[in-house]
Amino acid sequence: MITTALIIFQSLVHPFHVSVSDIKYKEDKKAIQISMRIFLDDLEMALQAYSGNEKLDITKEENWDFVIKNLEPYILGRLKLWDAKDREYELNWIGAEKEEDVMWCYIEIEKVKKLEHVKVWNSVLHEVWGDQENLVHFRAFDDVKSARLYKGEDTQVFEWD
């Protein structure tokens, strides 16, 4: 269980609860590539709740196998993309890596023949923090579109002509 003291401490450590997803459409490869950055302390709380392992410390190397085993289903259960015909894209987990105080997660969608409309749902960490913001930057055709996704407002449609 998350105690009040822990929540107050976490808000003092870093008061912003935010993840950043960079989504790029690679027209030459007919693929969508996603990289997601999540603060380790927030991710640790989410994986503790997801796995039921309240003593998980994701900064310790000996826990890495456990983290990877749970990270993929956690992220793929909270990130979805659909095409213009409302068909869900198949997300392919590429992997993850720690860098200082963040976790990088990499995902790819293959065989994207045409891109004109993509609906993105991102509820990562919404179960942990009520004020969680998931920033999404979608790059395609030399254009960047961005959105802030919140709990209850966690879906955005990106369109190109």
Block means of pLDDT (10 residues each) for the chain, length 161 residues?
Answer: 46 71 96 96 90 83 87 97 96 94 96 94 91 94 95 94 76
Indicate the pTM of the whole model: 0.86
Residue 3 in domain: no
pLDDT of amino acid 10: 46
Q: What residues contact residue 144 under an 8 Å CB cut-off, 6+ apart?
A: 137, 138
Residue 94 in domain: yes
Q: Are 128 and 46 in contact (CB under 8 A)?
A: yes
What's the domain range around 31? 17-159
Residue 4 in domain: no
CATH, residue 86: 3.30.70
Residue 1 in domain: no
Overall number of domains in the chain? 1
What would the two tokens of residue 138 be?
Answer: 């979608």
Q: What residues contact residue 107 under an 8 Å CB cut-off, 6+ apart?
A: 33, 34, 35, 36, 75, 76, 79, 91, 92, 93, 94
Element (H, E) at 71: helix 64-76
